[in-house]
Amino acid sequence: MKIAVVGTGYVGLVTGTCFAETGNDVVCVDIDESKIDKLTNGQVTIYEPGLEKLFLRNLREDRLSFTTSLEEGIREAAIIFLALPTPQGEDGSADLKYVLSVAEHLGRIMKEYKIIVDKSTVPVGTAEKVHNAIADNYNGEFDVVSNPEFLREGVAVDDFMKPDRVVIGTNSDRARKLLNDLYSPFVRQGNPIIFMDERSAELTKYAANSFLATKISFMNEIAQLCERIGADVDMVRRGIGGDERIGRRFLFPGIGYGGSCFPKDVKAMLKSAADEGYDFKILHAVESVIQLQKSVLVEKMQAHFGDLKGRTIALWGLAFKPKTDDMREAPAISITEKLLSMGARVCAYDPEAMETARRVFGDRICYCNHSYDALDGADALAVVTEWNEFREPDFKRIKQLLKSPVIFDGRNIYSPEMMRGLGLQYFSIGR
């Protein structure tokens, strides 16, 4: 099949590459010229495990190409995926300006039947808006489909190649047939392609992210309670996770969720509900817990040191989660900003997000080439992202390098008993 993907970021590049991998001809479109230049020249623009190999293979086989021209990109495509940003608008709603301006542009250049697929996370009713924006300038046949994306950064290629489910919102038999054919190679193990109407598909994505954010905030509240009543959140987590109705995954407390999705999607869900005159009570609580949780690590540092002015804190991890270079809404940003505002100095290391961090902080923090370099002369180590390489470090070396042997662990990756045994002062979450 001939496919166009408009927006070649985390979702678009993975989508385009994976569709090429199953034999389709894919053209990826982006307005960012330097991104398209790099991709055309074989340079992957994001860090995502497993992506480079697939990308290079499909580029070499001419199944994957890149352009800044929407017209050129969609000319031969039967299906056009929109993987465009839907950032948070001023009132909390998802800003649809990127999606609708591309839709309007498509209306001006389409010449034959095409299927336009919303892969961006968009509020209920967007498929209709996209339809209208196209129909304003084009009176031929076309279908607009909602196909929300559930991939997770860090495991995006695996998630795309083997999705738990594919959700497709459409009432068109023609679109249903083509999308079923396109996705069939990805669900050979029997995972479902779930067809539904557009509005239900749009809501499914927000419901999924809001539910996951609720799980995280719930565990963070359990952790707060554990600290106050002397229980261990790790034990409680394992105790409840054995119940199949609860499940073992996504029960880890920490320093709040970040990333490009949960924060904006929870806010957009709240706004959508409010627009319908419904007060989504649980999500207000989820939001306020996350705001509190973002401060806990710095509060623990203040409780330990008193004034943080003049202290140097070594940060391990900047990306919002491991295996990505993405720092959108990362807890490392709010922690660093708080520390800097209190007069502390921050020395940071992340295996993949150093370049991103330079764009975020400029010269306000110091960047280290190695995890241990960050510790040299620092007053404490703060673990912010649970990269595998931080899980079993040389604790003797950590102790030698730090000015005082203190670790603030925002991800509970070390054992409190072991830290005690090594003579390290250790503060974690809910234990």
Active site residues: 261
Q: Which helix (DSSP H) or strand (DSSP E) does residue 347 occupy?
A: strand 345-349
Query: Minimum distance from CB of 270 to ligand NAD (Å)?
Result: 16
Q: Between 35 and 311, whose beta carbon lies closer to ligand NAD?
A: 35
Under a CB-based contact definition with an 8 Å cutoff, are residues 269 and 283 in contact? yes
Interface with ligand NAD, residue 8, by CB under 6 A: yes
Question: Which of 39, 84, 134, 384 is close enough to bind ligand NAD by CB under 6 A?
Answer: 84
Q: Between 83 and 429, whose beta carbon lies closer to ligand NAD?
A: 83
How many other CB atoms are there within 10 angstroms of residue 295's CB atom? 15
Interface with ligand NAD, residue 9, by CB under 6 A: yes
Interface with ligand NAD, residue 31, by CB under 6 A: yes
Question: Which of 83, 124, 378, 429 is close enough to bind ligand NAD by CB under 6 A?
Answer: 83
The tokens describing 430, both together, are: 């809910």
Question: CB under 8 Å to 196, separation ≥6 — which residues?
Answer: 167, 168, 169, 204
Interface with ligand NAD, residue 149, by CB under 6 A: yes
Query: Minimum distance from CB of 348 to ligand NAD (Å)?
Result: 22
Report the alpha-carbon distance of residue 241 to residue 238 in Å, rounded. Answer: 5
Q: Between 260 and 385, whose beta carbon lies closer to ligand NAD?
A: 260
Q: Which of residues 205-264 bind ligand NAD (CB under 6 A)?
A: 260-261
The tokens describing 349, both together, are: 């290391």
Interface with ligand NAD, residue 412, by CB under 6 A: no
Interface with ligand NAD, residue 32, by CB under 6 A: yes
Q: Between 102 and 365, whose beta carbon lies closer to ligand NAD?
A: 102
Report the SS3 class of residue 426.
strand
CA distances from 230 to 60, 224, 237, 431 (A): 58, 10, 15, 8
Question: Which of 5, 17, 21, 30 is close enough to bind ligand NAD by CB under 6 A?
Answer: 30
Q: Which of residues 254-313 bind ligand NAD (CB under 6 A)?
A: 260-261
Max CA pair span of the chain: 74
DSSP per-residue string spanning 7-68: --SHHHHHHHHHHHHTT-EEEEE-S-HHHHHHHHTT--SS--TTHHHHHHHHHHTTSEEEES
Interface with ligand NAD, residue 95, by CB under 6 A: no
What are φ and ψ of residue 401, in 5° steps? -75, -35
Q: For 170-324, where are the E strands, in sequence order?
A: 193-196, 312-316
Query: Minimum distance from CB of 120 to ligand NAD (Å)?
Result: 3
What are φ and ψ of residue 351, in 5° steps? -65, -30
Burial class (CB in 10 A: 0-12, 13-18, 19+), 31: middle
Report the alpha-carbon distance of residue 242 to residue 210 in Å, rounded. Answer: 23
Question: Which of 25, 153, 329, 386 is close enough to bind ligand NAD by CB under 6 A?
Answer: 153
Question: Which of 52, 72, 78, 85 is close enough to bind ligand NAD by CB under 6 A?
Answer: 85
Residue position matching structure tokens 């880890």 = 252
Q: Which stretch binds ligand NAD (CB under 6 A): 81-89, 215-223, 292-300, 343-351?
A: 81-89
Of all residues in this chain, which one has the CB nearest to ligand NAD in the complex? 9
Q: Which stretch binds ligand NAD (CB under 6 A): 27-35, 195-203, 217-225, 246-254?
A: 27-35
Q: Between 160 and 280, whose beta carbon lies closer to ligand NAD?
A: 160
Interface with ligand NAD, residue 10, by CB under 6 A: yes
Q: Which stretch binds ligand NAD (CB under 6 A): 7-15, 57-65, 138-146, 250-258?
A: 7-15
Interface with ligand NAD, residue 185, by CB under 6 A: no
Report the alpha-carbon distance of residue 355 to residue 337 in Å, rounded. Answer: 18
In the chain, the amino acid numbered 345 is R
Under a CB-based contact definition with an 8 Å cutoff, are residues 158 and 191 in contact? no
Give the relative orientation of helices 51-60 and 10-21 as an angle to the nearest 10 degrees: 60
Q: Which stretch binds ligand NAD (CB under 6 A): 9-17, 129-137, 167-175, 215-223?
A: 9-17
Query: Minimum distance from CB of 98 to ligand NAD (Å)?
Result: 4
Contacting positions for ligand NAD (CB under 6 A): 6-12, 29-32, 35, 83-86, 98, 101-102, 120-121, 149, 151, 153, 260-261
